[in-house]
Amino acid sequence: MLQQTQVKTVIPFYKKFIKKYPNLKSISLATEDDILALWTGLGFYRRAKNIYRTKEIIKKEYKNKFPSKYEELILLPGIGQSTAGAIMSIAYKESYPILDANVKRVISRYKKINTNKNDVVKTLWSLSKNLTPEKNIFEYTQGIMDLGATICNIRSPNCLNCPINKKCKSAFKNFEIQYKVKKERPKKKIFFTLAHSKKSFLLFKKNEKSFWESLWIPYDGEDFKESNILKEPAKRKIKTINHALSHMELDITIEIVDYKTPFKIKSNLEHQWINKNQIDNYGLPKPIRTIIENHD
Ligand code: SF4
């Protein structure tokens, strides 16, 4: 959950998740939808899909026991070199280096490394390996992550209160931090048709390998009206929303169409009429969920 997301954003999602799935046994029968449902609003849904794939592997190949070797962990979906190192050192107390964003910052400042060089990641991994102790690995790993998160901040490092300020090559230096200029995200226009009847909404499981993959969304074509026979007069309402993803801005127009009764449609896509009271059981993108929650 913490990949590319701040702790304060993650806390309510984590609490809800761990309440429902406190251990591997409890998550073993969860469907991908069950897991995606708990992810609604947290974004980066690939992480939820990876949790699903990983727990399936653990169930089938490790009899629901979490693997304890680095070589096994690194093969699980969503677990890279740094996460595997963190699990080994924090959960199993074995000496493995880590290099998440916070640790990269601490090490590069501590050793005064030019982070603009092409092979900087290789250099930082090598330094991380050299700095990682054999003993007290739990304390070291937790400590360096916390140092980066709370003291060696991106914009204003608190060198005065830093426990490594005597050895740090950047301590108290008025060094200029080069921030990457944020590129303007490309904009994408999407048009949805959201059919509604008797508090149920017709939603489709997105099977495209792009953003919102595997989430339940309204029909995203222009031809909905033509592809379905409207036997009854319907009330229509247009809503527009702007929604920012990490890599693009979505300019969403949703036409909500009210029908007297739910109807069957022919579609190759997995689809369902989902009752408003049941949406907690499905993974929906946040803006779609908000629209449904607010529609009478
Ligand atoms: S002394 Fe300052 S720059 Fe160095 S690690 Fe500590 S907070 Fe970061």
The pLDDT of residue 222 is above 80 = no
- State the average pLDDT over residues 250-276: 88
Q: How far is the CA of 152 from the centre of ligand 1 (A)?
A: 5
pLDDT band at residue 196 under the 50/70/90 scheme: very high
Q: Which two tokens stand for residue 113?
A: 């490394």
Q: pLDDT value at position 139?
A: 97
Q: Concatenated DSSP letters for 71-114?
A: HHHTTSTT--HHHHHHHHHHTS--------HHHHHHHHHHTT--
Domains by residue range for the chain, with CATH = 7-161 (1.10.340.30), 187-294 (3.90.79.10)
Closest ligand 1 atom number to CA of residue 165: 1
Residue 250 Cα to ligand 1 midpoint, Å, equals 39
Name the nearest CA neighbour of 186 among 247, 234, 136, 126: 247
pLDDT at position 161 is 96
Structure tokens at 223: 């031809």
The closest of 243, 224, 248, 242 to 234, measured between CA atoms, is: 224
Our answer on whether the CB atom of 148 is closer than 6 Å to any ligand 1 atom is no
